[in-house]
Amino acid sequence: MKNKKMLLPIEKVNPGMKTAEVVFNKLGNVMLWDGVALDSITIERLKNIGIEEISVHVEDPREKEIKYDYDSPQLFAAEYEQDANSTRQVFQSISSGRRLDIQATDEIVDSVLRKSESNRNIIDSITQVRSIDEYTYYHSLNVSMLCMIIGKWLRLDEYHVRNLTQAGLLHDIGKTRIPLEILNKPDKLTDAEFEEMKRHSEYGYNIVKNSDDIPPEVAKAILTHHEKEDGSGYPIGLTEDKLNLYSKVITVADIFDAMTANRTYKSKDTPFKVFELMQHGSFGILDPIVLNAFLNNVTTYYIGASVLLNTGETGIVVFMNKQNLSRPVVQVGDRYIDTSVSKFVRIKEFI
């Protein structure tokens, strides 16, 4: 596919085009990196904060492929539910003693990979509330989607992005061997129950290790997805030099999905809080390169979002503070409020 790079007025920019250069806001801060697929919400937000023109890649219309319109949230949501359902079937089939259905697994991986330009839909669907007994299926699918987009942000090639998507989908497959009364227990687990729960990494490894269709690095990532950089994880206590990249990516995706799921019940300012916790509370746990690739890119999806402040005013997020991601700069009318400086002002919710 041939692409032309063009500087276009924002009114002429259409969903599906990709940024050809970094987009800066009027304060000189990065709004979007180059190579970002634009969707209608992002384009609207760029207009709202006064961006007049941007440089984009434009496809030559003679070579345009017929593509699925994943910019549509409805279409995305329908496929997402279907993929979650297929994930449930793959997991339940293993619970009932059958081998891993590799064909069904590949179909889900293909479906996730087709959504590789739908980052906003992926990020939105991850923050939805799920029932506890369905949690593992949605979580597995979410981690798979997050692994895919982090792989792309790390600029890995297609082979590795596919493996990562598969590893993310199967990382908790060992939970099919954990008794349901432990898996779905709403209260805190006892020490013995927690020890059993921790064995899901080994159980998962045992399910996939002899399959010719699962690359050995994927199997290893399933075994080591709860290891930590400083060696304090399980089941082995490996340190960062012994962990493969897939495992490091899964850990970041896993923590983000688990944190947003837990916190969705409590408040709507979830993502900012989660970013802060990941940024400041993960030293020694998460790989800094993977974490930075994730945070630097994912936070741009919140620039231009409308928010309600605790002062009762409404505003638009115009800049994420890299040092303090939970406290961005918000534009209220013609004022800029840096919530990292004005400590008493905070974001109450998205509107």
Residue closer to Fe ion (CB basis): 29 or 244: 244
CB of 255 to Fe ion, least distance (A): 9
Tokens 């918000």, located at residue: 330
Task: Give the interface segment with Fe ion, choosing from 67-75, 166-174, 227-235, 280-288 (CB under 5 A).
Answer: 166-174
Question: Could you say which of 254, 261, 299, 331 contacts Fe ion (CB under 5 A)?
Answer: 254
* Rounded CA separation 342/261 (Å): 29
Q: From 274, 337, 8, select the one nearest 123 (Cα to Cα).
A: 274
Residues near Fe ion (CB under 5 A), total: 2
Q: Of 13-21, 162-170, 228-236, 249-257, which segment contacts Fe ion by CB under 5 A?
A: 249-257
Closest distance between Fe ion and the C-beta of residue 136, in Å? 8
Whole-angstrom distance, CA of residue 41 vs CA of residue 132:
31
Residue 38 or 146 having the CB closest to Fe ion: 146
Q: How far is the CB of 343 from Fe ion (least distance, A)?
A: 34
Residue 63 identity (one-letter amino acid): E
Instruction: Please identify, among the stretches 68-76, 129-137, 170-178, 265-273, the one whose residues bind Fe ion according to the rule CB under 5 A.
Output: 170-178
User: Which CB, 83 or 254, lies closer to Fe ion?
Assistant: 254
Least distance (Å) between residue 231 CB and Fe ion = 18
Contact by Cβ (8 Å): 304, 280:
no
Q: What is the CA radius of gyration of the chain?
A: 21
Q: How far is the CB of 200 from Fe ion (least distance, A)?
A: 6
Residue closer to Fe ion, measured from CB, 172 or 287: 172
**CB burial readout 112-144, b (16+ within 10 A) else e:** bbebbbbbbbbbbbbbeeeeeeebbbbbbbbbb
Contact 56, 20 (CB under 8 A): yes
39 binds Fe ion (CB under 5 A): no
Neighbours of 190 (CB within 10 A): 11
Q: Which tokens belong to 95?
A: 């619970």
Using alpha carbons only, give the angle 203, 204, 208 rounded to the nearest 5 degrees.
120
Of the pair 170, 347, the CB lying nearest Fe ion is at 170
Contact 140, 171 (CB under 8 A): yes
Instruction: List all residues 6 or more positions away from 124 whose beta carbon is below 8 Å from its beta carbon.
Output: 73
Options 71, 172, 229, 269; binder of Fe ion; rule CB under 5 A? 172
CB nearer to Fe ion: pick between 23 and 259: 259
Give whichever of 95 and 306 is closer to Fe ion, judged by the CB atom: 95
Chain positions contacting Fe ion, by CB under 5 A:
172, 254
